[in-house]
Amino acid sequence: MRKFLVLTIFIPFFAACISDDEPYFVNSKEGNFDALWHIIDTRYCFLDYKNIDWNAVREEYRPRLAQVDNKYELFDLLAEMLAELKDGHVNLLSEFDRSRYWKWYTDYPANFNSQIIFSQKYLGQDYRIAGGLRYAKIADQKIGYIYYSSFSDSFSGANIASVFQQFKDCSGIIIDVRNNGGGALTYAETLASYFFENNCTTGYICHKTGDGHSDFSDLLPVITKGNSRWQRKVAVLTNRMSYSATNDFVCRMQYAPHSLIIGDRTGGGGGLPFSSELPIGWSIRFSASPMFDRDKNQIEDGIDPDIKVDMDITDNHNDAIIDRAVEELLK
């Protein structure tokens, strides 16, 4: 991605930017609007996939700059425009705020209650912790249960070996990644690798090659390396808040031997994020490289489970998704 060079000039709360091969954007409210619109127009990867008329968005929002009197109002207008992308990976970051789009999950059932999973029926209070993994035996010690809340939390090979050793007499294990909003793709790849005996193509990725909305490279294979540590049944529990790196983990695990995905459709977030900067100094984070499953389907909108299960929001004692996973693993 080509970057803007920022130069200071005497305009209230603004500067300017210029480079050899990018348009010149003065750091005014109009210049910042045009810079942001241009970045999305030339670098965002889902405009055609989502059938978004970005020119029409510009025509709707740019006239509203006439009512903008300060940087806070400018930020809010730009954030509102970015919400048209309906993408949880798109954020505008300033020194005073961070825009966010949440409707990718707020219109769906939660299918998760942390109070239930930490009850005595499931994790309880005496669970063990290995790196970012919380784990215990459940279902009369017959099933190993792991809750992993963030792919930003690290774990090591020694952590995994210890967990699997604890579960060596279990019929199967559950990996619960509900409400895991993502983190490092390297952890997603590493965790998935423990369930593959051999290297396996589990998806594809491509990147922008030009300014056109459909200027992409050929699809490049995403390989999950075989590092088999567990060769029995495994159930991965998902809900709509399983997002970004978690979405990638689920995409890989759906091709693992002996695996089942149980719960709700994941939240998606199948675009590898990238960042750029506006003349005013605010950062814009956006999806730059689309990712696909092994059948070359976009995973931006989420991945369906093998077995769809919804929780009963009136039941404060039982997790229907965990219970269904136990049932499947004991078959």
Match 């903008």 to its residue by tokens: 68
- Residue at token pair 């990147």: 207
29 exposure class (CB count in 10 Å sphere: 0-12, 13-18, 19+):
buried
pTM over cut 0.75: yes
Residues 6+ apart with CB under 8 A from 48: 213, 214
* Token duo for residue 6: 């920022």
Query: Which 3 state secondary structure label does DSSP give 67?
Result: helix
pLDDT in tens, 94-145: 999 999 999 999 989 999 999 999 999 999 999 999 999 999 999 999 999 9
Return d(Cα 234, Cα 174) in angstroms, integer.
6
Rounded to an integer, what distance in angstroms lies between the CA atom of residue 55 and that of residue 80?
Answer: 15
* Predicted local distance difference test score (pLDDT) of residue 21: 66
pLDDT at 4: 33
- 8 Å CB contact between 200 and 226: yes
Q: What is the pLDDT, as a whole number, of residue 228?
A: 87
pLDDT of residue 2: 34
Residues of the chain with pLDDT under 70: 1-21
CA-wise closest residue to 19 among 41, 40, 38:
38
Structure tokens at 66: 């006439």
> What gap in Å lies between CA 255 and CA 293, rounded to an integer?
10
Cα–Cα dist 183/247, whole Å: 10
Distance CA 74, CA 64 (A): 10
Q: What pLDDT is stored for residue 24 in this prediction?
A: 84
CB atoms within 10 A of CB 64: 13
Q: Identify the structural domains of the chain with CATH numbers, from first to last.
A: 5-105 (3.30.750.44), 109-195+230-267+302-329 (3.90.226.10)
- Nearest Cα to Cα of residue 249 among 329, 180, 326: 180
Rounded distance between C-alpha atoms, residue 108 and residue 284, angstroms: 27
